[in-house]
Amino acid sequence: MSKFYDTCALLELQNQAFNSHFLISNITLKELELIKTSSSKDFDIKYKARKLIHLLDENEDKYTTINYQKDWDEAIKISPILFDNNDSKIIMTALKVSLQEPVNFITADLNCKKLAQSIGLNTEYLKPCIDTYTGFKEITYHSDEELAEIYNQLYLTDNIWQMLNNQYLIIKNANTNEVIDKYKYTKEGFVKITFPCFESKMLGKVKPKDIYQTIAMDSLKSNKITMIRGSAGTGKSYLALGYLLSQLEKHKIDKIIIFCNTVATAGSAKLGYYPGSRTEKLLDSQIGNFLSSKLGDRVGVERMISEGQLELLPMSDIRGYDTSGLNAGIYITEAQNLDIDLMKLALQRIGEDSICILDGDSQTQVDMPIYAGLNNGMRRVSEIFRGDSAYGEVTLQNIHRSHIARLAELL
């Protein structure tokens, strides 16, 4: 049976659609051209359209285009179900093909699904794919017998929970919600997580405040690259800086390099030109405020810079930069404000002797439309890196900053 995709299904599937041959209407091609330049469409859908057009151009042998015939308009006009619009024309194209060969009409639009079914097309509804990967899975038990079976499964090799490499497993009591145990899945099987702690002169002892911070700290200690997601106040930057400072003081790394994209907060007024050197301008921006608040004051930040322990590098200047031989800890803060190309450029700077931490909130704190949706660099890193032996990712769940900060999350 031939697959016949409508426009919204192709936009949703992207690369996945080209795994096997399929059919489309030429109306879909026209719609894609209109979407990519439309002033009324949001950035995410226009980006999807541009990406899909490139895929269609590069994979012409993977699909067949069926041209809509003008004389089919009459069939739409007399139909009590269809309307004179592109959706109906695409459905009609699929219906005409189905008279010659079996067709499975695939759509991601519920209305199109109902219309196609109403005129007798074999129809499949494609639910929009929502990425819910957090870097961990939580399982619960209700009895001692269930807990015993969980522990039994931990030592088997069939991986019944479908864990990825470096993904965490949290075991909770279903009645009390108490965390009973925590493990990380590796190529060698499940590894029990011990209680982590970082310590530095500037931040003192950094201890986890919940199970999610615990596994994030374990990832920082055990992986070359870790992404920490979470809302404001969940402790992303506190954990990242705590680990980097502890490694610096133990001489495990020689310096901390912060890649920063100094984007003004969405909806805020821009203050214009800042005088001074590159470093002075950065210290007067949000990255300077961030470091001063975490490390005590600006004097402490400037001292670290002057002693060569800290370097601030704006994204505008990183092309050609190479951290090889620097034995550095690379910190990409507010990483939600990077698109895929900027993120790729940043990660390509990192040498074999360096570690990398990314933090941000790609769900709610993106400050420019160009960094949102499918074009978001954090989202793409997660999709590509997850499961790699060098990569860990954790989405923090709880806001610890203050009661007010927790209330603000509800706004």
Q: Kindly report the CATH number assigned to the domain that includes residue 214.
A: 3.40.50.300
Q: Please report, for residues 4, 52, 103, 121, 124, the alpha-carbon distance to residue 106 in angstroms, rounded to integers and kept in the order given.
A: 6, 17, 9, 10, 5
Domain range for residue 55?
2-125
Tell me, yes or no, whether 175 and 39 share the same domain: no
CA–CA gap between residue 47 and residue 256 (Å, rounded): 34
Check which CATH number belongs to the domain holding 149 and give it.
Answer: 2.30.130
What residues form DSSP beta bridges with 65? 24
Crossing angle of the two packed helices 110-118 and 86-98, in degrees rounded to 10 = 40
Q: Does the pLDDT value for residue 289 go beyond 70?
A: yes
Tokens 């009390």 label which residue?
A: 176
Pair (138, 264) in one structural domain: no
Domain count, the chain: 3
Looking at the fold, whether 165 and 238 belong to one and the same domain comes out as: no
Say if residue 240 is in the same domain as residue 371.
yes
Kindly report the pTM of this predicted structure. 0.72
Task: Quote the CA–CA distance of 328 and 355 in Å, as a whole number.
Answer: 7
Strands 103-107 and 255-260 turn out to be unpaired
Q: What pLDDT was estimated at residue 264?
A: 61
Amino acid of residue 142: H
Reported as a single tens digit per residue, the pLDDT across 123-162 is: 999 876 667 899 999 999 999 999 999 999 898 877 889 8
Same domain for 19 and 137:
no
Q: What is the pLDDT of residues 236-247, one digit of tens each?
A: 999 999 999 999
The residue out of 176, 193, 210 marking a domain boundary is: 193
Indicate if 355 and 389 belong to the same structural domain.
yes
| Poorest-pLDDT segment among 1-15, 30-44, 179-193, 348-362 | 30-44
* Whether residues 335 and 230 fall in one domain: yes
Helices (H), 42-143: 43-58, 73-78, 86-98, 110-118
Q: Are 258 and 312 in contact (CB under 8 A)?
A: yes
Say which CATH number the domain at 25 has. 3.40.50.1010
Residues 6+ positions from 79 with CB-CB distance below 8 Å: 88, 119
Choice among 33-37, 213-217, 290-294, 321-325 with the minimum mean pLDDT: 290-294
pLDDT at 23 over 90: yes
Give the residue-averaged pLDDT of 266-292: 68
Say whether both 143 and 86 belong to one domain: no
Please check whether residues 268 and 354 belong to one and the same domain: yes
User: Are 266 and 238 contained in the same domain?
Assistant: yes
391 and 279 in one domain?
Answer: yes
* Listed residues 193, 218, 242: the one ending a domain: 193
Mark whether 117 and 144 lie in a shared domain.
no
Which string of DSSP letters, residue by residue, matches 356-369?
EEEEE-TTT---SG
DSSP of 322-335, one letter per residue? --TTS-EEEEETTG
The set of residues, in sequence order, having a beta carbon less than 8 Å from that of 100 and lying 6+ positions away, is: none
Q: Regarding predicted confidence, which is higher, 298 or 2? A: 2
Q: Are 375 and 339 in contact (CB under 8 A)?
A: yes
